[in-house]
Amino acid sequence: MADDTTLTVRFFARLREELQTDTLTLPLDTPTTAGQLLSTLAQKGGPWAQLAGGQPVMIAVNQAMAKPDTPLNGGDEVAFFPPVTGG
């Protein structure tokens, strides 16, 4: 469960399948941004490396579209996903 010392990170669609992960709960020890979190996750290697810029990744923070420089706070829900294709 997310509280003010953790971040909930969610993945959707192709990213969810390729990373075989839909939700992560991560400790938030130091101030960070959505883009820094993406770089940190990319270092896990394997399919995670694509988060470093191989494919376009869209970012949402607390269910609103965000940018790499959007700051993250404890309790936030961050989501990473491919460009949207509804309709």
Partner 1 sequence: MNYSVSVQHQDFDVAEEYQALRDSGAGTGAIATFTGLVRDSGDLQGVTGLFLEHYPGMTEQVVTGLIAEASTRWDVRKARVVHRVGRLALCDQIVFVGVCSAHRGDAFAACAFIMDALKTSAPFWKKELSGEEEHWVGQRDSDLARHRDWE
What are the residues binding partner 1 (CB under 8 A)? 10, 12-14, 16-17, 60, 63-65, 79, 81-87
Find out whether 19 and 65 touch, Cβ atoms under 8 Å: no
Give whichever of 12 and 48 is closer to partner 1, judged by the CB atom: 12
What are the two backbone dihedrals, phi and then psi, of residue 39, each rounded to the nearest 5 degrees? Answer: -65, -40
Give whichever of 11 and 28 is closer to partner 1, judged by the CB atom: 11
11: how many CB neighbours lie within 10 A of its CB?
23
The Cα 54–Cα 14 span in angstroms is 13
Smallest distance, partner 1 to C-beta of residue 34, A = 15
Give whichever of 36 and 77 is closer to partner 1, judged by the CB atom: 77
